[in-house]
Structure formats: structure tokens, C-alpha cells
Amino acid sequence: MNVHIEKAQAILRANDKGGYTVPTARLYPFQWNWDSAFVAMGWQTFDEPAAWREVESLLEGQWDDGMLPHIVFHTASDQYFPGPDVWGTHHAPPTSGITQPPVLASAVARLIAKAHDKDLAEAKAAAIYPRLLANHRWWSRARDPHQTGLVAVLHPWETGMDNSPAWDTAFARVPTQTTTVVKRRDTSHVDAGHRPHDIDYQRFIHLVDCYREAGWDPARMWKAAPFKVADVSINAILARAEADLLGLAVSYGTAAEQAEIAQRAAQMKQAIATLWQPKLGLFGSHDLIADAPIEVATSAGFLPLYADAADAAQVASMGATLDRWRAQVRVLVPSTPPESPVFEPLRYWRGPVWAVVNWMIADGFARAGDAVRAQQILAATRSAIEQAGFGENFDPLSGVAGGGGTFSWTAAIYLLLT
């Protein structure tokens, strides 16, 4: 077996805390939502029961209204801020009160499609399907209350792309005052230069305070939100997840549920088309508070490919954008391209390459019939990992690994690539 596969498997085993996998020790000592969806797919390549356990343990955090929190605090740890005391959500097990990109239905669809143990997959999927449906209904009801076809995030952490330059203008409107004392732990685990700034944390926590005071009630949060963005990546990921959920509904749901999901999926695809930004040669997010498009190029802008939501001209234009970025970097796909004035090669979502995003973009180019660019991205991802190890992310200019080390989702993606 290739030594890197052995290492990737060892990382998942080491980060497995007994039924759930932490993203990495110390920096992220709990279960994270979209991390776990990718990690479950990685587990499946060598331990199928572990893949299902990963999904089920994440669903232990699901709220009665269908919301799937971004963190499930299965055990206590003083290594992370903000912990359960700051969130104050009163769920058992304790959870955060916001969500993260809804990759889970797509992960479950893949676990079924690739299952070796079909009986296990059938039994698990039948039990999990209603939970996924409840989650997608929550997105539509709580985060698209006016039924526009685009869901909104109320916190940058929900996008998973915490300090993306796409949020700069909208996030600058969020006050910096907090009622919680901000005691960062992340910068004692990794280089502060790879992390968001302190001022960002003031705003991150202002939002947590604001929503906690709204009792974590979706309608009150929606009203109170000083940050409300229709994020292109969340919408693309959810549109793809709806299509994948429709496949599950054919086996496990009713005809009425199939119709409901198909209707939402179609409406989302149409709405994503309105996010096209010809000047960027990419899709972009929409700031709902300013009611303005966010004209900032980031790797998220390729993700409508992953939802089959781009037309042929858009696919060609995104191909040209990718080629231009490729000429500027050693490793594709930078989260923010070097040509951007706010590019920082190692600061979290302001430049670094993320294996999970690459995997989705490559899948998108392949679906659009562009196997060449899909392969370029996959090859870049594989060789970055083989050369620099299983870092949280990679400097697109030097290829050096950044953020936390021995990272579960990087390991999982490597396993999917080989």
C-alpha cells in the first residue's frame, strides 16, 4: 500500500474519539459538521462501519427543528473557544447554535453508492434519510423565509470559509462589542498568521452573543442578524445535496417528498443562476442586508459547477478563470487568487488551498465535461499532500502546509483520490 494511504488511514484512526472524528487534535477537539461529512467518505474506503458511525454521531447533535449544528461537543475540552458555555444552546449533547455547509446528504448518497456491505447501507440509509429531509426543510424554512430559492447564512462560520475576503464588507458592519469575554485558544495551537485577526473574533463573538440573546430561535435570529449573506458555496452545496437527497427519496421516501425535493432543487438552481458575475468569470455571493452582489473572486465561485448549475458559456468562462489563476500559483486552487489585492498565502481562507474545496470543484468540472481541468485540480491536490503532508491547507505559492497538522478532512480527501 502507498505510504501516504497508510498515513491518511492512521490520521483518521488517531483522530477517532470513539465514533466521531475530530478535525485535528487541540485546534478542533470536537465534531465539526462538514468535516465529518467528508471524513465519513474517507472512512468508507477502509472501514465502512466507521463511516456510518461518523454520520450517526453527527446526527446526535441535530435539533428538533432539523438544524444540524456546526459543532457537536461530545466531550468537554478547554482547548477551544467558544465552548458550550458561550453558545448556551441547551441541547444534549451540547452543540453550537449555527450550522455549516450541508454536505451530509451528498456524503450519505456516496456511502450508499459505494457500499460493499449493501445490507448495512440499506438499514442505515433508511433511518438517516428522514433526518436529512428534516435538515433540508430547515434550510428552506429558517434560512429562506421569503422562498427566493437562495438560503442565507447569518455567521461567517456557517460558510466554513470564516475569513474569506468575500465577507469583508458585510462583516465590517458587525459591531465589535461583545458581552462574552473573548479568550482565543486557536492562536496558542497554530501560527497566528494562519488564523483570522482578533478584530474578526470580536465580530464572530458579537454574532454569537446576538443569536444567543435571540434564544437560537430562527425567526428572531433572522430579524436580529447584522450579517446575512446568500453564500454561493452554501447554495451550490445545498443544491447538489438536494439532488442527492432526491435520489435517496426514490428509495426511502414518498412520492410527495420526491416532488417537494425536486421542486426545491429546481428553484435553487434557477436562483443560483442569478449569482453569475461576468466580470469575474465566476459566481459570487449576495449580501442580503445591502441587497448587493459581492464582487470578490474566491474559489467558492466555482462551486455551482458541483451543483450542475452553470451553463456552457459559464463553464468555459470559469475554465479561463482557472487557467489564469493556475499561471499565478504552484498549487491550485487558491481560496483567493494572488492577483487579488487582499491575497495572503497562508491566512486561512484568504489564499490557502483547501483539499475539500478542490475535490468539489474538480467534481464540478468533471460533471461539466471538462475532464482536463478536473484532473489538473486533483493532481495538484494529491501532489501537494504527498509533498507537504496532511496539513489543514496549503500555501498556493510555495506548497507549504498551513494551519493545523494531521488533518482529518485532508486525509479523507487523499483517500478519495487514490
Known catalytic residues?
162, 392
User: Residue 114 CB, nearest distance to ligand DGY (Å)?
Assistant: 28
Phi, psi of 149, deg, nearest 5: 100, -10
Q: Is the peptide bond before 72 cis (omega within 30 degrees of 0)?
A: no
Q: Is residue 287 involved in binding ligand DGY (CB under 6 A)? A: no
The alpha-helical segments, DSSP class H, found in 96-227 are 104-113, 118-143, 156-159, 168-172, 186-189, 198-213, 218-224
Angle at 354 between CA 342 and CA 311, to 5 degrees: 85
Binding positions for ligand DGY, 62-91, rule CB under 6 A: 70
Cβ-based nearer residue to ligand DGY, 113 or 199? 199
User: Residue 27 CB, nearest distance to ligand DGY (Å)?
Assistant: 8
SS3 content of the chain, % helix, strand, coil (to 5): 55, 5, 40
**Among all residues, whose Cβ is closest to ligand DGY?**
157
Binding positions for ligand DGY, 167-186, rule CB under 6 A: 186
**Strands 282-283, 276-277: pairing kind:** antiparallel
Binding positions for ligand DGY, 183-222, rule CB under 6 A: 186
Phi, psi of 341, deg, nearest 5: -65, -20
Q: Is residue 144 involved in binding ligand DGY (CB under 6 A)? A: no
Contact 376, 382 (CB under 8 A): no
User: Residue 161 CB, nearest distance to ligand DGY (Å)?
Assistant: 9
Cβ-based nearer residue to ligand DGY, 318 or 353? 353
User: Residue 133 CB, nearest distance to ligand DGY (Å)?
Assistant: 25
| CB-based burial, 210-233: b 16+ in 10 Å, e otherwise | bbbebebebeebbeebebbbbbbb
Q: Is residue 162 involved in binding ligand DGY (CB under 6 A)? A: yes
Nearest-angstrom CA–CA distance, 272 and 381? 27
Total of chain residues touching ligand DGY, rule CB under 6 A: 4
Cβ-based nearer residue to ligand DGY, 37 or 249? 37
Cβ-based nearer residue to ligand DGY, 212 or 367? 212
User: Residue 70 CB, nearest distance to ligand DGY (Å)?
Assistant: 6
Three-state secondary structure along 354-381? CHHHHHHHHHHHHHCCCHHHHHHHHHHH
Cβ-based nearer residue to ligand DGY, 16 or 162? 162
Q: Which amino acid is at 360?
A: M
Cβ-based nearer residue to ligand DGY, 32 or 283? 32
User: Residue 250 has which C-alpha cell?
Assistant: 426514490
User: Residue 162 CB, nearest distance to ligand DGY (Å)?
Assistant: 5
Footprint of ligand DGY (CB under 6 A): 70, 157, 162, 186
